[in-house]
Chains A and B, each alone.
Chain A
Amino acid sequence: MSKNSNSCIALMSDSKIFLQQVLALLAKDLKTEWRTREIFTSMFVFAVLVVVVFNFAIGADTELIRQVASGVIWIALSFASVLGLQRTGQMEREEDSLQGVLLALHDRSALFVARMLAQMLYLLVVVICTLPLCGIWFRIDFIACIGGLCVVFALGMLGLSIVGTLFGMIALHTRACEVMLPMLFLPVSIPLTIAAVQATAQLIDGKSLRDIADYLVLIGIFDVVFFVLVLMVFDYIVEE
Chain B
Amino acid sequence: MPKWWTIMLFVMAFPFIYLCMNRVFHVTVMCITMNVAIMLVFIYAPTEKMQGIVQKIFYFHVSSAITMFFAFFLVCVASIMYLWKTSDWWDSIALSAAEIGVVFCTLVLITGPLWARPIWGTWWSWDPTLTLTLVLWLIYVAYLMLRIETYDPQRARFAAILGIIGFVDVPVIRWSVEKWRTLHPKPVLIQEGGTTGLTSAMLLTFLVCVGAFFLLFFYLLRERISVAQSRHALEVLRHEIDEICVG
A interface residues (Cβ-Cβ under 8 A, vs B): 166, 170, 173-176, 179-180, 183-184, 186-188, 190-192, 194-195, 198, 214-215, 218, 221-222, 225-226, 229, 233, 236-237, 239-240
Nearest-CB residue, chain B, relative to A191: B176
Q: What distance in Å separates the Cβ of A86 from its nearest Cβ neighbour in chain B?
A: 15
Report whether B161 and A190 are in contact in the complex, using a CB–CB cutoff of 8 Å.
no
Residues from chain A with Cβ under 8 Å of B183 in the complex: 198
| Proximity string of chain B (88-103) to chain A, C-beta cutoff 8 Å, 1 when within and 0 when not | 0000000000000000
How far, in Å, is B150 (CB) from chain A's closest CB? 5
Known: A191-B173, A226-B165, A236-B160. 11 other contacts (CB 8 A): A170-B161, A174-B149, A180-B142, A183-B141, A194-B180, A198-B179, A198-B180, A215-B179, A225-B172, A233-B164, A240-B153
Bound together, the chains give a CA A215 to CA B172 distance in angstroms of 11
Which one of A176, A188, A198 lies within 8 Å of B166 (CB-CB)?
A: A188
State whether A174 touches B150 (Cβ < 8 A).
Answer: yes
Residue of B nearest to A233 (CB): B161
Residues of B within 8 Å of A192, CB to CB, are 176
Does B154 sit at the interface, judged by CB under 8 A?
Answer: yes
Inter-chain contact A233/B83, CB cutoff 8 Å = yes
B142/A184 in contact, CB under 8 A: yes
Cα A233 to Cα B161 in complex, Å, equals 7
Scoring A170, A214, A240 by chain B CB atoms within 10 A of each residue's CB, the highest score goes to A170
> Closest approach, in angstroms, between the C-beta of B146 and any C-beta of chain A?
6
Contact A229/B150 with A191-B173, A191-B175, A195-B179 known, Cβ cut-off 8 Å: no
Which residues of A have CB within 8 Å of B168?
225, 229
In angstroms, Cα B160 to Cα A229, docked, is: 13
25 inter-chain pairs at a CB distance below 8 angstroms, sorted by A residue, are A173-B150, A173-B154, A173-B158, A174-B146, A174-B149, A174-B150, A175-B151, A176-B149, A179-B145, A180-B145, A183-B142, A184-B142, A188-B166, A188-B169, A190-B173, A195-B176, A215-B179, A218-B179, A225-B168, A226-B165, A229-B164, A229-B165, A233-B164, A236-B83, A237-B158
Residue total for B at the interface (Cβ-Cβ under 8 A): 31
B172 touches A218 (CB 8 A): yes
Residues of chain B contacted by A186 (CB below 8 angstroms): 138
Chain B, Cβ-Cβ closest to A195: B176
**Is B224 located at the chain interface by the 8 A CB criterion?**
no
* Cβ contacts under 8 Å, A229 to chain B: 164-165, 168
Q: Are A184 and B146 in contact (CB under 8 A)?
A: yes
Residues of B with C-beta under 8 A to A166 = 161, 165
When A and B form their complex, which 8 residue pairs have the shortest distance between CB atoms, in order from nearest?
Answer: A191-B176, A187-B138, A174-B149, A183-B142, A194-B176, A191-B172, A187-B139, A175-B149
Q: CA separation between A192 and B161, bound complex, in Å?
A: 19
Cα A175 to Cα B154 in complex, Å, equals: 12
Is the CB–CB distance between B176 and A188 below 8 Å? no
Complex Cα distance A233/B83, Å?
9
User: Taking the complex as formed, is B162 at the interface, i.e. its CB lies under 8 A from any CB of chain A?
Assistant: yes
Chain A CB within 8 A of B26 CB: no
CA distance A174 to B139 in the complex (A): 16
Separation of A191 and B175 alpha carbons in the complex (Å) = 8
B138 contact set on A, CB distance < 8 A: 183, 186-187
Residue of A nearest to B140 (CB): A187
Name B137's closest neighbour in chain A (CB-CB).
A187
Across the interface, B161 reaches (CB within 8 A) one of A180, A214, A225, A237, namely A237
Q: In the complex, A136 Cα to B75 Cα: how many Å?
A: 48
**Which residues of A lie under 8 Å from residue B149 when comparing CB positions?**
174-176, 179-180
Query: Which one of A183, A190, A225, A236 has the highest number of Cβ atoms from chain B below 10 Å of its Cβ?
Result: A190
In the bound complex, residues from chain B placing their C-beta under 8 Å from that of A175 are 149-151
Question: What residues of B have a CB within 8 angstroms of the CB of A218 in the complex?
Answer: 172, 175-176, 179
Chain B residues with CB under 8 A of A194: 176-177, 179-180
| A-side contacts of B179, CB under 8 Å | 194-195, 198, 214-215, 218
Which residues on the A side are within 8 Å of B150 (C-beta)?
A: 173-175
Interchain nearest-CB distance for A14 vs B (Å): 24
For B158, the chain A residues whose CB sits under 8 A away are 170, 173, 237
